[in-house]
């Protein structure tokens, strides 16, 4: 790794000010993504500021309105073990447990998890292959290269990468909020607005600016939360990123779907919310497989495959279907 200096942030305001005025400073929490990026020379910060000592940022607490606030420094394993979250939002627990390994979950922070950068092999490669995310204007080696693992929704000729986080998919389905403290105070960003589509600026993964510090993730109380499920398909059974995944939360009247929340991973540059399918699934009976399939298909009208990932369009619909069935059986 390249030479760098290290400091510890003691106070959020000072950390934010330092980050705002110094483009070569990076915050580090768990470090599990940042160190990989630095070793692959996809991130070259001159100064690291360790934010692990910032107060009150690792707690998991129930809010007065029934929501749950997860501190940005809470570790994936702590959130996955949390009994309140397991009981009320199993989709969050499962999405965390199906990600990475026991060791990495003990290290990785929740804030860092949603800031993870893509696993696109061209982006991660040390040889500076064309990648607009890594070096704007250099092109996209994946667009006409090996793109079996890449996007089927929302991609551009400039970037066809997918977002790697699992828990971000669950949080998107639940319409969680990212609480950010910046130069002008604190603000809440809706999870579906947090990550960006690539367009012609794929170097920006999300809407954060310099001087922004994620302090927490807030999950509102959701009636669909208890009957929820995260289904992840991978090239190997464990310790792998998703080919395709689905986060589903459902509320039912008998066998009929009352309301459903549905988001997918491994298919786009951000967690992909299936809003058309959510509307179409309302009122459908959970034992009517054909009707479930037809409803889910409404969100795949604008799916566009690349040369090597046409299979994902059918696979994603089957994954969504099975996830709805499993979540429905929990209602």
Say how many C-beta atoms besides its own lie within 10 A of residue 230's C-beta.
30
- Quote the least distance from Cβ 6 to other proteins, whole Å: 4
Q: Which of 40, 175, 218, 221 binds other proteins (CB under 8 A)?
A: 40
- Quote the least distance from Cβ 8 to other proteins, whole Å: 7
Q: Which DSSP helix (H) or strand (E) runs through 228? A: strand 228-233
Query: Any contact of residue 306 with other proteins (CB under 8 A)?
Result: no
Q: Which of 87, 144, 210, 304 binds other proteins (CB under 8 A)?
A: 87
Q: Which of 12, 20, 41, 258 binds other proteins (CB under 8 A)?
A: 41
Nearer to other proteins, 94 or 205 (CB): 94
On whether the CB atoms of residues 133 and 156 are closer than 8 A, the answer is no
- Quote the least distance from Cβ 302 to other proteins, whole Å: 30
Tokens read off for 168: 């971000």
On whether the CB atoms of residues 146 and 192 are closer than 8 A, the answer is no
Task: Candidates 88-96, 203-211, 295-303, 304-312: pick the segment binding other proteins (CB under 8 A).
Answer: 88-96
Total residues at the site for other proteins (CB under 8 A)?
Answer: 52
Residues 10-29 that bind other proteins (CB under 8 A): 24, 28
Secondary structure of residue 115 in the 3-state scheme: helix
Nearer to other proteins, 41 or 196 (CB): 41
Query: Any contact of residue 188 with other proteins (CB under 8 A)?
Result: no
Tell me the three-class secondary structure of 275-320, residue by residue: HHHHHHHCCCECCCHHHHHHHHHCCCCCCCCCCCCCHHHHHHHHHH
- Quote the least distance from Cβ 300 to other proteins, whole Å: 27
Nearer to other proteins, 98 or 272 (CB): 98
Task: Candidates 77-85, 213-221, 264-272, 320-328: pick the segment binding other proteins (CB under 8 A).
Answer: 77-85
Query: Any contact of residue 80 with other proteins (CB under 8 A)?
Result: yes
The Cα 305–Cα 313 span in angstroms is 7
Sign of CA dihedral 98, 99, 104, 108: negative
On whether the CB atoms of residues 188 and 217 are closer than 8 A, the answer is no
Task: Candidates 62-70, 99-107, 151-159, 307-315: pick the segment binding other proteins (CB under 8 A).
Answer: 99-107
Task: Candidates 130-138, 235-243, 277-285, 321-329: pick the segment binding other proteins (CB under 8 A).
Answer: 235-243
Secondary structure of residue 218 in the 3-state scheme: strand
Q: Which of 97, 114, 219, 319 binds other proteins (CB under 8 A)?
A: 97
Contacts of 167 (CB under 8 A, 6+ apart): 76, 79, 92, 95, 96, 99, 110, 113, 114
On whether the CB atoms of residues 289 and 128 are closer than 8 A, the answer is no
Residues 238-267 that bind other proteins (CB under 8 A): 238-239
Residues 120-159 that bind other proteins (CB under 8 A): 121-122, 124-127, 129
On whether the CB atoms of residues 8 and 18 are closer than 8 A, the answer is no
Q: Which of 13, 14, 21, 39 binds other proteins (CB under 8 A)?
A: 39
Instruction: Give the residue among 248, 311, 305 at the shortest CA–CA distance from 274.
Output: 248
Instruction: Give the residue among 292, 296, 293 at the shortest CA–CA distance from 276.
Output: 296
Q: Which of 43, 67, 69, 106 binds other proteins (CB under 8 A)?
A: 106
Instruction: Give the residue among 48, 36, 38, 42 at the shortest CA–CA distance from 5.
Output: 48
User: Which residues of the chain form contacts with other proteins (CB under 8 A)?
Assistant: 1-8, 24, 28, 30-32, 35-36, 39-41, 44, 46-48, 50, 52, 77, 80-81, 83, 86-87, 90, 93-94, 97-98, 100-104, 106-107, 121-122, 124-127, 129, 237-239
């Amino acid at each position: 790794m390249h030479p760098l200096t290290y400091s510890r942030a003691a106070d959020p305001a000072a950390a934010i000010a330092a980050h705002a005025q110094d483009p070569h400073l990076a915050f580090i929490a768990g470090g599990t993504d940042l160190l990989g990026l630095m070793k692959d020379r996809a991130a070259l910060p001159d100064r690291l500021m360790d934010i692990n000592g910032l107060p009150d940022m690792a707690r998991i607490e129930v809010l007065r309105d029934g929501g749950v606030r997860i501190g940005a420094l809470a570790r994936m394993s702590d959130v996955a073990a949390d009994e309140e979250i397991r009981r009320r939002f199993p989709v969050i627990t499962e999405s965390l447990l199906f990600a990475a390994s026991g060791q990495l979950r003990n290290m990785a922070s929740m804030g860092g998890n949603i800031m993870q950068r893509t696993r696109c092999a061209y982006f991660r490669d040390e040889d500076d292959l064309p990648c607009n995310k890594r070096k704007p204007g250099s092109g996209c080696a994946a667009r006409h290269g090996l793109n079996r693992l890449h996007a089927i929704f929302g991609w551009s000729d400039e970037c066809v990468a997918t977002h790697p986080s699992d828990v971000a998919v669950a949080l998107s389905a639940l319409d969680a909020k990212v609480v950010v403290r910046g130069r002008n105070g604190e603000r809440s960003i809706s999870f579906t607005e947090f990550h960006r589509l690539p367009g012609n600026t794929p170097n920006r993964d999300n809407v954060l600016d310099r001087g922004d510090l994620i302090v927490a993730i807030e999950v509102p109380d959701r009636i669909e939360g208890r009957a929820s499920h995260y289904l992840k398909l991978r090239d190997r059974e464990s310790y792998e990123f998703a080919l395709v995944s689905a986060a589903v939360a459902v509320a039912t009247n008998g066998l009929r779907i009352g309301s459903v929340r549905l988001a997918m991973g491994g298919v786009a540059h951000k967690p992909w919310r299936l809003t058309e399918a959510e509307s179409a699934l309302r009122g459908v009976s959970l034992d009517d497989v054909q009707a479930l399939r037809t409803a889910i298909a409404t969100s795949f009208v604008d799916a566009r495959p690349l040369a090597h990932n046409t299979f994902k369009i059918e696979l994603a619909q089957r994954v969504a279907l099975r996830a709805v069935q499993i979540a429905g059986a929990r209602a």
